């Protein structure tokens, strides 16, 4: 029993290189999407005439999530970070 490392020692020493890489990858994954968010408002709105809205009216051009009910439910269980799944409505002038 005495030759066992403590739980804290074990956790900090278990494959330190792999844990460091995982930590770096996690931070990179968390920060990189900020670029997309920062770029979005810079794009600006455009007035599109009704006769030009054919593409916007396509069913796949909704701002809602296209996930099916069962898929959305699975996500809610598998991803501890639930919330934020909402989407804006309208804007495309389609029906």
Partner 1 sequence: MRLQLRHVGGLALALVAASDPALAQPEPYAAAAAPAPEAPAAQPAPAVRSNLTGHAGLEYGQYADTDHVFVETPSVTATVSNPTAGWSLGGQYLVDVVSAASVDIVATASRRWTEVRHEGEVQAAYKPKTFGAQATASVSDEPDYLSLAAGGAVTQDLFAKAFTWQLGYGYARDVAGRTGTPFSVFSRTIDRHALNAALTFVLGPTTLASLVGDAVFEGGDSSKPYRYVPLFAPGTSVPRGASIDLVNARRVSARPLEQLPLSRQRYALTARLARRYHLATLRVDERLYADSWSMKATTTDARLLFDVGTRVEIGPHARLHAQSAVDFWQLAYTVSPGFSVPALRTGDRELGPLVNATGGITLRIGLGSDASPRSWTLGFDVNVTTTQYLDDLYVTDRLSTVGSTVLEADL
* Residue 24 engages partner 1 in binding (rule: CB under 8 A): no
Q: Please identify, using beta-carbon distances, which residue of 16 and 70 lies nearer to partner 1.
A: 70
62 burial via Cβ count (<10 Å: 0-12, 13-18, 19+):
middle
Cα–chain center distance at 44 = 22
Instruction: Tell me the closest approach of the beta carbon of residue 16 to partner 1, in angstroms.
Output: 13
- In the numeric block, the tokens 């066992």 are attached to 4
Residues found near partner 1 in the complex (CB under 8 A): 1-2, 4-7, 10-11, 14, 22, 25-26, 29-30, 32-34, 36-37, 40-41, 43-48, 50, 52-56, 58-66, 68-74, 76-95
């Amino acid at each position: 029993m005495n030759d066992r490392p403590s739980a804290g020692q074990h956790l900090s020493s278990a494959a330190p290189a792999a844990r460091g890489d995982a930590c770096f990858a996690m931070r990179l994954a968390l920060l990189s999407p900020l670029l997309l968010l920062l770029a979005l408002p810079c794009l600006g709105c455009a007035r599109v005439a009704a006769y030009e809205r054919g593409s916007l009216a396509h069913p796949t051009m909704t701002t809602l999530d296209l996930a099916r009910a069962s898929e959305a439910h699975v996500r809610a269980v598998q991803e501890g970070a639930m919330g934020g799944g909402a989407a804006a409505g309208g804007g495309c002038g389609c029906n």
